[in-house]
């Protein structure tokens, strides 16, 4: 059974930090590209960051570049998203995803998804 479970969301003031975690099981974690998407009501889901299976390649949308850092620990089957200098515009539901292909992940065609964790940034 595949499980993708996000944690670490919450309420934070603008300028603050949060660290999201994504714990995965039921598939070979280090064979999959991993990433984070976010979505706000009425808007399409958008990719914000992705990392290749061996961490050699990372992607960040311009909206979070320089503020967010994505990393993974393949020994622990866990993905992390360190979010610094949070802004009210970062408020969203954040979803962890796993994909067998880099292009598929960036194209929002992933294999597995978590249920999401809410991040709310107060201004």
- pLDDT confidence of residue 97: 97
Name the pLDDT band for 106 (thresholds 50, 70, 90). Answer: confident
Q: Quote the CA–CA distance of 53 and 102 in Å, as a whole number.
A: 9
> Are the C-beta atoms of 98 and 33 separated by less than 8 Å?
yes
Q: What is the mean pLDDT of residues 109-120?
A: 94
Instruction: Give 71's Cβ-side CA count (13 Å radius).
Output: 7
- pLDDT confidence of residue 110: 85
> Are the C-beta atoms of 17 and 82 separated by less than 8 Å?
yes
By percentage, how much of the chain surpasses pLDDT 70? Answer: 100
Query: Is 104 a residue whose pLDDT tops 90?
Result: no
Query: Is 18 a residue whose pLDDT tops 90?
Result: yes
Q: What is the mean pLDDT of residues 47-69?
A: 97
- pLDDT confidence of residue 43: 96
Q: Quote the CA–CA distance of 64 and 55 in Å, as a whole number.
A: 18
Q: What is the mean pLDDT of residues 78-104?
A: 96
Name the pLDDT band for 46 (thresholds 50, 70, 90). Answer: very high
Query: Is 108 a residue whose pLDDT tops 90?
Result: no
- pLDDT confidence of residue 85: 98
Q: Quote the CA–CA distance of 39 and 66 in Å, as a whole number.
A: 20
């Amino acid at each position: 059974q595949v499980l993708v479970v996000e944690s670490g969301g919450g309420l934070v003031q603008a300028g603050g930090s949060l660290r999201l975690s994504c714990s995965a099981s039921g598939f070979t974690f280090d064979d999959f590209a991993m990433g984070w998407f976010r979505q706000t009501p009425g808007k399409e889901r958008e990719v914000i960051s992705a990392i290749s299976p061996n961490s050699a390649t990372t992607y960040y949308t311009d909206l979070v570049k320089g503020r967010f850092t994505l990393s993974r620990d393949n020994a622990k089957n866990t993905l992390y998203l360190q979010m610094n200098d949070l802004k009210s515009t970062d408020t969203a539901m954040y979803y962890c995803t796993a994909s067998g292909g880099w292009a598929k992940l960036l194209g929002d065609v992933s294999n597995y998804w978590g249920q999401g964790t809410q991040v709310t940034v107060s201004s």
